[in-house]
């Protein structure tokens, strides 16, 4: 079923969309291209869609760009992805004055190269006061790793008596997550036909509506986004009610 833009209820948009951008390699294979060309195409799709989602009025988008497991890929591919990341960050630092997108990186930065960490800090500082789309990019991110890191932070605060055991609840725990102060996703989109979470936002996706698309990420378009939003808007969200 094809969904047109005018079928979307713009008064009922999801506040926060999470996206697992899957299928760059398979897209490249399908089109007789290299995996690096697939990642380049996927990066362009991300840039185009974030601009359009900002215009559409989506408040937050969180994308899965590089997982803690992705380090196991061939070194040449990892090196290319890090180079692509450097280009992405550099380009957005230049564009920050004219764009209204606030960019935030989530995940464990300690394994990223020092120059990349510096670029991330610069970009976050430049876009900190932007009022448009809040774009969270998950780099060296894993849901289990995030939960463990959050527990370690809580443990440190317990030792220093900044937190008492009886104060620990869901609300407090969420303040230690990478996504602190950001509402949980209303909608998760995963491309390429895979039907799993792959260690992405395991805490935050507890009540999120899930939408799986057969298209590979480089082929995912605004019309595909409209279709995902349309299906989201047809669902009755009960949050545990009968």
- Amino acid 240: pLDDT: 55
- Amino acid 7: pLDDT: 86
- Amino acid 1: pLDDT: 66
Active-site annotation holder among 22, 99, 184, 219: 22
What are the helix (H) ranges across 75-216? 75-95, 114-127, 143-159, 170-174
Q: Is 22 a catalytic residue?
A: yes
C-alpha dihedral sign at 228, 175, 207, 233: negative
CA distance 216 to 120: 27
Each residue's pLDDT expressed in tens, for the chain with a length of 242 residues = 678 787 889 889 999 999 999 999 999 999 999 999 999 999 999 999 999 999 999 999 999 999 999 999 999 999 999 999 999 999 999 988 889 999 999 999 999 999 999 999 999 999 999 999 999 999 999 999 999 999 999 999 999 999 999 999 999 999 999 999 999 999 999 999 999 999 999 999 999 999 999 999 999 999 999 999 999 999 877 655 54
Active-site annotation holder among 6, 12, 32, 70: 70
Q: Is 100 a catalytic residue?
A: no
Residues 137/102, Cβ–Cβ less than 8 Å: no
């Amino acid at each position: 079923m094809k969904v047109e833009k005018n079928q979307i209820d713009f008064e009922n948009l999801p506040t926060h969309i999470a996206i697992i951008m899957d299928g760059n390699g398979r897209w490249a294979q399908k089109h007789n291209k290299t995996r690096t060309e697939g990642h380049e195409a996927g990066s362009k799709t991300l840039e185009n869609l974030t601009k359009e989602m900002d215009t559409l009025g989506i408040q937050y988008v969180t994308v899965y760009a590089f997982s803690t497991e992705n380090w196991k890929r061939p070194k040449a591919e990892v090196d290319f992805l890090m180079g692509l990341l450097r280009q992405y960050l550099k380009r957005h630092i230049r564009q920050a004055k004219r764009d209204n997108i606030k960019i935030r990186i989530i995940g464990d930065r300690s394994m990223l190269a020092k120059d990349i960490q510096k670029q991330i800090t610069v970009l976050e500082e430049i876009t900190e006061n932007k009022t448009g789309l809040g774009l969270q990019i998950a780099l060296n991110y894993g849901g289990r790793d995030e939960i463990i890191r959050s527990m370690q932070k809580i443990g440190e605060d317990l030792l220093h008596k900044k937190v008492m055991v009886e104060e620990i609840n869901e609300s407090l725990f969420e303040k230690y997550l990478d996504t602190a102060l950001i509402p949980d996703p209303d909608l998760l989109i995963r491309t390429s036909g895979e039907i799993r979470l792959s260690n992405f936002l395991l805490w935050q996706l507890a009540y999120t509506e899930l939408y799986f698309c057969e298209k590979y990420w480089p082929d995912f378009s605004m019309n595909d986004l409209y279709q995902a939003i349309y299906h989201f808007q047809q669902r009755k969200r009960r949050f545990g009610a009968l």
